[in-house]
């Protein structure tokens, strides 16, 4: 699948509306060397970064939620709200 970091970010925001609800900023960076995406979750408190391999990112773009990102997001929200 071919898509930009921006497209992946907007798909994540679509799949996880709680990100917008809690005012979390999402920064997506592709690590070409490791073939994975860094999904940085930012609030006024400490940040959290989740790494999605290409398969999980492709699944996200196809509308499938990532279990890893869901769990990480839940923990991030619980720690910071």
pLDDT single digits (tens) 30-80? 999 999 999 999 987 778 889 999 999 999 999 999 999 999 999 989 988
- Dist CA 52 CA 11 (whole Å): 14
pLDDT of residue 81: 79
pLDDT of residue 46: 79
pLDDT of residue 79: 86
Cβ-proximal residues to 46 (8 Å cutoff; 6+ apart), any chain: 80
Q: Which residues pair with 50 in a beta bridge?
A: 39
Contact 28, 37 (CB under 8 A): yes
DSSP letter at 35 equals T
Q: How long is the chain?
A: 81
Spell out the domain ranges in the chain.
5-80
Q: Which residues pair with 42 in a beta bridge?
A: 25
């Amino acid at each position: 699948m071919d898509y930009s970091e921006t497209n992946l970010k907007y798909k994540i925001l679509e799949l996880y509306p709680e990100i917008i609800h809690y005012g979390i900023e999402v920064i997506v960076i592709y690590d070409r060397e490791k073939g994975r995406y860094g999904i940085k979750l930012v609030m006024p408190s400490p940040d959290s970064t989740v790494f999605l391999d290409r398969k999980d990112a492709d699944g996200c773009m196809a509308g499938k939620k990532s279990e890893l990102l869901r769990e990480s997001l839940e923990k991030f929200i619980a720690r910071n709200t």
